[in-house]
Amino acid sequence: MSYSLAKIAKEIGVSKTTVSFVFNGKGKEHRVSADMQEKILEFCRKVNYSVNIHAQRMNQKNVGTIGVILYPGGLRKIMNPLSDENSANILGGVIEAAAKRNCRVLIEIVTPETPPEKICEWFRKREIDGMIYYGMIMLDKWRDILIAEGCHVVGIGGEPGKELPSVNIDNYASSVSLTKYLLKKGHRKMTFLNGRDTSYINNERRRGFMETLKKHGIDYVNGPANYAMFQEGNAYAWAKEKIKSHSLDEDAIVCGNDSMAIGVMNALKSNGIKIPDDVAVAGADGISLANYVTPSLTTYSLCPMKLGMKASELLFKLIDGKETEKNITLKSDIIIREST
């Protein structure tokens, strides 16, 4: 026999509303006795009735869940983004902020090939109230659909002014400060090792570096075509090839993140090149390992926990229909260490 909410209520002898309160975990709140709650649940178990969660969600204003999409890096195969310290700490900040609202967090890993429908399904099926994305430039095909359907979305490291709200550190200002410091130390032959050209964070860091050199009348060494996909191994190979080909004439190498800077330092050290006496090296992100490598690495922090928390706070304001800032920018200070 097929059972509905109304049929269950009729057989037990209570109102349909009372049964609904129990199914939604609000029995105590609406003064349904513990005995009655157990009687309703026991009847449901007896007749093998389960609540249609999807239908229930479709009737709720909010479902108490947010989603986080992470981009795994420069490679097309799926990697583990949580092996990246920044991704893990950003997610930690999101979870901490969500916990204050008794909100759950779902995680999805995407690539440029991920169809926008897969992301939109979260919203269409009412599985999430809003979404945070990190590690990517929001593709037009995704952004257009999300905006058209009125989805609540916040980016971390996304490009401001692209219709979707974002939270960033001031990567441009931090890169300018770092480059000015290197110039003050007397460095003139510098190059920038990129992560990915699809990364807004990388591009802002490169822009700060290049514009600062230009303002000081200094040419950029080797052009902007050096990419190591934010990977330590790729950076090591890049530096190793420069040494092997006798094309290493820089007195300072600035990297788009700390992992690449560590790869560069390992290549230099393995070939007897002294840091910073022969070549200074600097990174960005402020990962914990940067303080323990030899020499310790000059960098600036991405403030990942704070980014995660701020993005969540902004998203919850959108969900609640409150006025919000369109973009939030956090300050990050240069951490001077032995590598420069």
68 three-state secondary structure: strand
109 and 213 housed in the same domain: no
- The domain tally of the chain equals 3
Residue at 15 is within a domain: yes
Residue at 333 is within a domain: no
34 and 142 housed in the same domain: no
pLDDT of residue 75: 45
Q: Which residue has the tokens 């996304």?
A: 158
176 and 281 housed in the same domain: yes
CATH classification at residue 261: 3.40.50.2300
Domain limits for position 30: 5-51
**What is the helix, strand, coil percentage profile of the chain, to 5?**
45, 15, 40
CATH classification at residue 33: 1.10.260.40
For residues 93 and 77, what is the distance between their CA atoms, to the nearest angstrom? 26
194 and 127 housed in the same domain: no
295 and 314 housed in the same domain: no
36 and 123 housed in the same domain: no
Beta-carbon contacts of 207 under 8 Å, excluding residues fewer than 6 positions away, are 172, 175
Residue at 56 is within a domain: no
b/e 79-101 (16+ beta carbons within 10 angstroms → b)? bebeebbbbebbbebbbebbeee
33 and 95 housed in the same domain: no
The first and second tokens of residue 336, run together, are 């001077």
Residue at 47 is within a domain: yes
Task: List strands edge to edge, sheet with 190-193.
Answer: 190-193, 252-255, 280-282
Q: Which residue has the tokens 């300072």?
A: 252
Residue at 272 is within a domain: yes
154 and 75 housed in the same domain: yes
- Residue 276: closest CA among 140, 135, 181, 163: 181
Residue at 243 is within a domain: yes
pLDDT of residue 316: 96
Residue at 239 is within a domain: yes
Q: How would you write the pLDDT of the chain (340 residues) with one tens digit per residue?
A: 678 888 888 999 999 899 888 877 677 778 889 888 888 888 887 887 766 555 555 556 777 899 999 876 544 444 566 777 888 999 999 999 999 999 999 998 887 777 777 777 777 676 889 999 987 767 777 788 788 778 899 999 878 766 789 999 999 999 999 999 999 999 999 999 999 887 889 999 999 999 999 999 997 766 556 889 899 999 999 999 999 999 899 999 999 999 999 999 999 999 999 999 999 999 999 999 999 999 999 999 999 999 999 999 999 999 999 988 889 999 999 999 999 9
For residues 247 and 255, what is the distance between their CA atoms, to the nearest angstrom? 18
pLDDT of residue 79: 59
Residue at 132 is within a domain: yes
252 and 286 housed in the same domain: yes
Cβ–Cβ < 8 Å for 271, 245: no
31 and 109 housed in the same domain: no
pLDDT of residue 74: 47
Element (H, E) at 13: none
Element (H, E) at 113: none
163 and 77 housed in the same domain: yes
The first and second tokens of residue 28, run together, are 């105590």
* Burial class (CB within 10 angstroms; exposed 0-12, middle 13-18, buried 19+) of 48: exposed
162 and 308 housed in the same domain: yes
